[in-house]
Amino acid sequence: MENADSVEVYFSNGVAMDAEITGTDIYSDIAVLKVDEVPCDENCQPYPLPMANSSMINPAQMVMAIGTPFGLEGSVTHGIVSATGRTMPTTNGFSIPNVIQTDAPLNPGNSGGPLIDLSGEVIGVNRARSGDNLGFAIPSNKARMVADAIIEKGKYEHSWIGIQMLPVSPRAADFMDLNDEASRGVMVVVVVEDGPAEDAGLKSAEEVKINDEIIFINGDIIVGVDGVEVFNSDQIIAHISEKQPGDEIELEYYRDGEKMTTQLELGARPE
């Protein structure tokens, strides 16, 4: 979509119209299109599908996916919500948090279509199929936030902490003689230059080889964000995704065996 020269929108009455690309967001795979008018006579009244609160959905909930798989218009498949809160890596080095996993069949042509619940409300925007019975959708709450920002400002600014991070490995925990809480934390592997984490004084890890295995040691180990205990990087990414650039978060972390706290002002993710 971001490299498209022209886009056409097809309506259910068979009319096709040229659309303007208002904006795109590659980090959430959402685009906003605009048409000058909706081709409808006096006997019909188009209306948007209602958007559900995606934070309220649960695993095992029945869902349906609507799209045009392999060019077959208006196809409907069904399944369940397999899981929520998934984190999906992308080709640009960042991750999409809080993604919905579903076993509803998604095929080429389903991407961009709605994932709806049995009341007809949209809970997500179908994004990808990774294998048999394994598909993903961007949650409706995120899609709505991104689309509203694109309409208002032309873009959506993602918050950014400016680190690369990994779970503390058992070998690193033993080498550093960490306590139980620190052993379950997330180590700061790289602090990006001139990023929010560097401004907050966070320290990156050292790379060493022990018994032919490369491990990271002596970096700051994050164990809490805004008073919530964290055990993996997905939790941190998901928490930050709900914030805006300029917001402050409180990080609890261990450095050299001592537990510390710092305030960090989130920046805008670089393009």
Residue 110 in domain: yes
CA-based max dimension of the chain: 76
Per-residue pLDDT, 1 = 58
Q: How far apart are CA 154 and CA 138, in angstroms?
A: 20
**138: exposed, middle or buried (Cβ count in 10 Å: 0-12, 13-18, 19+):** buried
**36: exposed, middle or buried (Cβ count in 10 Å: 0-12, 13-18, 19+):** exposed
Which two structure tokens, joined as six digits, stand for 6?
A: 């022209």
Q: How far apart are CA 65 and CA 114, in angstroms?
A: 6
The answer on 122 and 167 residing in a single domain is no
The answer on 261 and 164 residing in a single domain is yes
Per-residue pLDDT, 83 = 94
Cα dihedral value 241, 244, 248, 249, nearest 10 = -10
Residue 28 in domain: no
Per-residue pLDDT, 28 = 87
The answer on 132 and 170 residing in a single domain is no
- 183: domain CATH number? 2.30.42.10
The answer on 257 and 183 residing in a single domain is yes
Which two structure tokens, joined as six digits, stand for 212?
A: 């032919």
What's the number of domains the chain is made of?
A: 2
Q: How far apart are CA 68 and CA 222, in angstroms?
A: 44
The answer on 171 and 249 residing in a single domain is yes
Task: Provide the 10 A C-beta neighbour count for residue 45.
Answer: 7
The answer on 97 and 167 residing in a single domain is no
Per-residue pLDDT, 16 = 86
Helix (H) or strand (E) holding 64: strand 62-67
98 neighbors 139 (Cβ within 8 angstroms)? yes
Q: How far apart are CA 218 and CA 206, in angstroms?
A: 6
Residue 22 in domain: no
Q: How far apart are CA 17 and CA 37, in angstroms?
A: 9
**pTM here?**
0.80
Per-residue pLDDT, 43 = 67
Per-residue pLDDT, 40 = 76
The answer on 178 and 127 residing in a single domain is no
Q: How far apart are CA 143 and CA 149, in angstroms?
A: 10
Per-residue pLDDT, 133 = 79
The answer on 212 and 136 residing in a single domain is no
What proportions of the chain, in percent to the nearest 5, are helix, strand and coil?
A: 15, 45, 40
For 199, the domain range is: 159-268
Bridge partners (DSSP) listed for residue 79: 63
32 neighbors 70 (Cβ within 8 angstroms)? no
The answer on 262 and 168 residing in a single domain is yes
Q: How far apart are CA 127 and CA 138, in angstroms?
A: 7
Which two structure tokens, joined as six digits, stand for 202?
A: 């966070």
Per-residue pLDDT, 11 = 80
Tens place of pLDDT for every residue, the chain, 271 residues?
Answer: 556 778 988 887 778 889 999 999 988 889 999 998 887 766 666 778 899 999 999 999 999 999 988 888 889 999 999 999 898 877 666 788 889 999 999 988 888 999 999 999 999 999 866 667 789 999 999 999 999 999 999 999 999 999 999 999 999 999 999 999 999 999 999 999 999 999 999 999 999 988 888 999 999 999 999 999 999 999 999 899 889 999 999 999 999 999 999 999 999 988 7
The answer on 187 and 91 residing in a single domain is no
Per-residue pLDDT, 2 = 59
Residue 83 in domain: yes
Q: Which residues contact 55 (CB under 8 A, 6 or more apart)?
A: 139, 141
